[in-house]
Amino acid sequence: MNHFEGAAGLAVVRLTLTDFRCYSFLRLEVDSRPVVLTGANGAGKTNILEALSFLAPGRGMRRARLAEVARRGAGSDAPWAVAARLERGAGLDSASIDIGTGREAGSERRLVRIDGQPARSQAALSEVASALWLTPAMDRLFSDGAAGRRRFLDRLVLGLDPQHAARASGYEHSLRERARLLKAGRWDPAWLCVLENRMAEAGVAMAVARRRTVACLNQACAEGIGPFPAAHLVVAGPVEESLESLDDPEAEAKLRNALAASRRRDAESGGAAVGPHRSDLLVRHGHKNEPAEQCSTGEQKAVLVAIVLGQARIQANLRGQPPILLLDEVTAHLDQTRRMALFDELCALHAQSWLTGTDDSLFAELGERGQFFRVHDAVVARR
């Protein structure tokens, strides 16, 4: 697959966990090949993937509170840490970077260090590493509420636009502050205008980035990824839709005016009635031309895999670096043909992938292209 020849994979070569979930301490050394973790349910496989997800901005693949991540029995104020050495490229052209993140005792703020230096915020991680994940809970992505689909979309956007995390964080901060003032009855027009202006600027920028990412994904998925179905995506929301006929400043003005007009209603309901936080990601199974939520479980899983692989292709081509892929129980609902195609694509992408499962035989087609570990009661052993 020649279109990936310029991509230099980013790989975690050493992962260290301290007081994280079921692990009091774990040090795992691997290479850039796909990493397969097998074992019984509850053995600690997914906890490793969750730790890796903290190498990117956000609350991780389980969206857990910091206190929930601490080792079981350690107490709600206990600290925890995830450290990783990442390498990009190979041989003489390789470069390494160290990331550390975690929680200090009693703190509700996640700390981040990059090459030993403290980062101002989690957003700095998006400049270093990108991670995408699929979990069994996401099998319901198309049938559950819009919030999960927005989070999924924003994770895709972040892979192409590292500034998206900072914009989204700024938007959410202004949204919360505006809601607090409205609820308290502090209707200072000047301060509300400042907050609404910030929301309009950040909100339109978020919508622009979402539309751009969806356009790229539709092109990548339309090209076909082996036996996986083409997916067609649309961002549905007033802000995104306004960009079809308005330029950015005009869309900002429209959102700003809508926010000002909805103050009284927002004061009663909380939050804001309009904005990109209300948008949705609509997905269709391209081959069947049906909404994804109306497809079978296996078809929905295949569509999700197609989107993630399409995103990995885009990042490999545009940024020269595919994301780290965290695929929890990904082989469930995939037949042998699609399993083989998935493994072939992961290897062709030069993307380090971490895969979990309970059945070793479902990964047999990887052979020597992968590295295999058995997880049992929070003990990880190479097979």
pLDDT tens-digit profile of 118-137?
998 888 998 898 999 999 99
> pLDDT of 130-165, one tens digit each?
999 999 999 999 999 999 999 999 999 999 999 999
Nearest-angstrom CA–CA distance, 328 and 160: 23
* pLDDT of the residue at 11: 94
At residue 114, the 3 state secondary structure works out as strand
What per-residue confidence (pLDDT) applies to 123? 86
Structure confidence at residue 351 (pLDDT) = 84
Residue 311 shares a structural domain with residue 266: no
- Report d(CA 346, CA 357) in Å as an integer: 17
**Boundary residue ending a domain (262, 294, 326):** 294
All residue ranges of the chain with pLDDT < 50 are 1-7
- 131 with 169, same domain: the answer is no
| CA–centroid distance for 82 within its chain | 18
CA distance readout (Å), 165 to 36, 104, 168, 169? 30, 23, 5, 6
Same domain, 160 and 170: yes
Domain termination site, one of 245, 260, 294:
294
- Write out the residue range of the structural domain in which residue 266 sits: 143-294
In a shared domain, residues 290 and 313? no
Q: Please tell me the predicted confidence (pLDDT) of residue 1.
A: 34
Indicate which CATH number applies to the domain containing 328.
3.40.50.300
Please tell me whether residues 7 and 78 are part of one structural domain. yes
Count up the domains in the chain and report the number: 2
Residues 225 and 173 in one domain: yes
| pLDDT in the model for residue 73 | 79
Please tell me whether residues 20 and 41 are part of one structural domain.
yes
277 and 303 share one domain: no
Query: Are 160 and 186 contained in the same domain?
Result: yes
- The pLDDT value given to residue 5: 42
Cα(280)–Cα(240) distance, rounded to whole angstroms? Answer: 10
Last-in-domain residue among 243, 277, 294 = 294
Distance CA 300, CA 304 (A): 6
